[in-house]
């Protein structure tokens, strides 16, 4: 078996409460030992002096667009981008052009993943057929197909009855329900956060109520059914408060946010930059601060990218007509380090937790740690290295990042997937 030795790195492994200079020995696909000054003959040695070594990141909110919109992204290009961002495992959202809502479509997707993926891609299937909110999908069957989560992401399940049934089935089958919380009757045709900025821009607003009222409702259903629930892309203060209260009550809820919600506020939209258009929208500075505090307090468990690639043709048009969504796989770690760790808000361990063990726990998967015996998914970064987000260097097929032209701190040097170096800067 091929032996890989990572020397002298600052190893951060929250699952084992570890943060210190250590070596890691990998044999084949597994981690064998983590400890100080490991003396072993290895086929390959990586000198990780001054670097941080962490479990490979797990991004539980990614739109890979395949099958159907290979012009935006493919599983091949999306997973390459993931590795560059230090992400070794990702959850592919089912709102592809051909929705992942039947056992056949899941098999089709699995086939493409097997052939073309460069990373570990997990499958989320739809809650309802064609994500229309009318008819439940075959949840027990999905479980047999190794689907780890169900979601109608991009849309909310409007019917309480249907979502309740889905939660019951998900609970029985130990599958996570991920909720996109949006009351469309309230958000309507909005394109930016409702407030002074939407008034200045003359654009239709999306109220915070449209999000948090649905968060409240969905958590209520989780409480009634006793099924765990995960709230996707939390963007506003009220949602954070509702989630914090629910956790206090012991309701099984986890929540995620994306870097743009703690790095950028609605003011970024003031010159109608369509790379600042996503759903939910960038909110006020007060909301941004609440998201940061929610990460600190633990109300928000997970940082995910909500990587949503769109072509230039879909973004270089009038703001109202441009697609919602931004890419994030290649910037999520650096943006999080820059905004959360280098500002002193989170410790390294706290951050790594939100991008590894916490999503692994929510999804119920055996990843996200550096424990001996576990799969050797490892990310090695230069924590202080500053880099400029440039269009030419983006590996994703789409270039719609809100961080274009920004300087971020923290650069991925190596990404190791099941013991193999799959990305090297």
Partner 1 sequence: MPVIWHRKDLLGLENLSREEIEFILETADSFKEVSARDIKKVPALRGKTVVNLFYEPSTRTRVSFEVAAKRLSADVINIATETSSVKKGETLIDTGKNIQALNADIIVMRHNYSGAAAMLARNLEISVVNAGDGWHEHPTQALLDIFTLKEKLGRIEGLSVSIVGDIAHSRVARSNIWGLTKLGAKVTVCAPPVLIPVAVEQMGVKITHNLDEALKHADAVNVLRMQFERDGSEAFPKQLEYFKNFGITRERLEKLKKNILVMHPGPLNRGIEISSEVADGGHSVILEQVTNGIAVRMAVLFLVAQGRERKKDGEATH
How many amino acids of this chain bind partner 1 (CB under 8 A)? 19
- Residues within window 302-321 making contact with partner 1, judged by CB under 8 A: 313, 316-321
Q: Pick from 44, 134, 200, 285: which binds partner 1 (CB under 8 A)?
A: 200
Q: What is the DSSP string of 93-114?
A: -S-SSS-S-SHHHHHHHHHHHH
Other beta carbons within 10 angstroms of residue 207's beta carbon come to: 18
Q: Pick from 75, 203, 246, 376: which binds partner 1 (CB under 8 A)?
A: 203
* Set 13, 158, 306, 377: catalytic member: 306
Of 22, 55, 9, which Cα lies nearest the Cα of 374? 55
Q: How far is the CB of 318 from partner 1 (least distance, A)?
A: 4
Of 139, 124, 334, which Cα lies nearest the Cα of 230? 124
- Residues within window 204-223 making contact with partner 1, judged by CB under 8 A: 205
- Residues within window 260-279 making contact with partner 1, judged by CB under 8 A: 271-272
What tokens does 415 get? 């990404």
Q: How far is the CB of 315 from partner 1 (least distance, A)?
A: 11
Q: How far is the CB of 235 from partner 1 (least distance, A)?
A: 17
Q: What is the largest CA-CA distance in the chain?
A: 66
Q: How far is the CB of 274 from partner 1 (least distance, A)?
A: 8
Q: What is the CA radius of gyration of the chain?
A: 20
DSSP letter (8 states) at residue 50: T
Region binding partner 1 by CB under 8 A among candidate stretches 199-207, 227-235, 342-350, 378-386: 199-207
Contact 392, 405 (CB under 8 A): no
What contacts 127, CB < 8 A, 6 or more positions away?
136, 137, 150, 151, 152, 157, 162, 163, 166, 177
| Contact call for residue 202 and partner 1 (CB under 8 A) | yes
Which SS3 state, helix, strand or coil, does residue 61 take? strand
Q: How far is the CB of 385 from partner 1 (least distance, A)?
A: 32
51 vs 208, beta carbon nearer partner 1: 208
Task: Identify whether 306 is a catalytic site residue.
Answer: yes
Other beta carbons within 10 angstroms of residue 135's beta carbon come to: 11
- Residues within window 318-337 making contact with partner 1, judged by CB under 8 A: 318-321
What character string, x for contact with partner 1 (CB under 8 A) and - otherwise, covers 179-198? ---------------xxx-x
> How far apart (Å, rounded) are the C-alpha atoms in residues 77 and 117?
8
Region binding partner 1 by CB under 8 A among candidate stretches 159-167, 201-209, 292-300, 405-413: 201-209
Q: How far is the CB of 285 from partner 1 (least distance, A)?
A: 14
Query: Binding residues for partner 1, per CB under 8 A?
Result: 194-196, 198-203, 205, 271-272, 313, 316-321
- Catalytic positions, please? 306
């Amino acid at each position: 078996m091929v032996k890989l030795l990572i020397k002298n790195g600052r190893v951060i492994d929250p699952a084992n409460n570890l943060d210190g200079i250590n070596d890691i020995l990998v044999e084949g696909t597994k981690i064998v030992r983590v400890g100080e000054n490991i003396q072993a003959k290895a086929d390959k040695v990586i000198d990780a002096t001054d670097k941080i070594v962490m479990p490979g990141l797990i991004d539980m909110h990614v739109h890979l667009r395949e099958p159907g919109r290979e012009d935006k992204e493919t599983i091949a290009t999306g997973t390459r981008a993931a590795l560059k961002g230090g992400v070794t495992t990702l959850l592919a959202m089912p709102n592809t052009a051909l929705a992942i809502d039947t056992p056949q479509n899941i098999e089709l997707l699995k086939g493409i993943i097997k052939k073309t993926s460069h990373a570990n891609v997990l499958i989320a299937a739809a809650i309802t057929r064609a994500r229309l909110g009318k008819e439940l999908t075959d949840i027990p069957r999905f479980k047999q197909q190794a689907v780890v989560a169900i979601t109608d992401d991009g849309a909310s399940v409007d019917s309480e009855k249907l979502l309740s049934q889905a939660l019951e089935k998900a609970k029985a089958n130990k599958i996570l329900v991920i909720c996109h919380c949006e009351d469309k009757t309230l958000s309507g045709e909005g394109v930016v956060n409702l407030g002074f900025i939407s008034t200045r821009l003359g654009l239709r607003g999306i109220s915070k109520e449209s999000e948090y009222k649905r968060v409240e409702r969905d958590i209520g259903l989780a409480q009634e059914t006793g099924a765990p629930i995960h709230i996707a892309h939390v963007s506003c203060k009220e949602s954070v408060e509702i989630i914090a209260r629910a956790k206090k009550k012991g309701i099984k809820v986890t929540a995620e946010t994306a870097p743009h919600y703690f790095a950028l506020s609605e003011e970024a939209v003031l010159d109608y930059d369509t790379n600042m258009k996503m759903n939910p929208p960038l909110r006020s500075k007060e909301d941004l601060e609440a998201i940061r505090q929610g990460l600190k307090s633990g109300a928000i468990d997970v940082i995910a990218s909500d990587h949503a690639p769109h072509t230039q043709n879909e973004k270089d048009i009038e703001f109202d007509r441009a697609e919602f969504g931004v890419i994030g796989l290649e910037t999520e770690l650096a943006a999080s380090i820059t905004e959360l760790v280098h500002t002193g808000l989170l410790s390294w361990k706290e951050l790594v937790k939100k991008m590894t063990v916490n999503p692994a726990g929510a999804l119920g998967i055996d990843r996200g740690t550096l424990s001996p015996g576990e799969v050797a998914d490892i990310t090695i970064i230069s924590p202080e290295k500053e880099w400029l987000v440039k269009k030419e260097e983006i590996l994703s097929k789409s270039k719609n990042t809100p961080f274009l032209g920004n300087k971020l701190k923290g650069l991925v040097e190596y990404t190791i997937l099941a013991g193999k170096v799959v990305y090297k800067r």
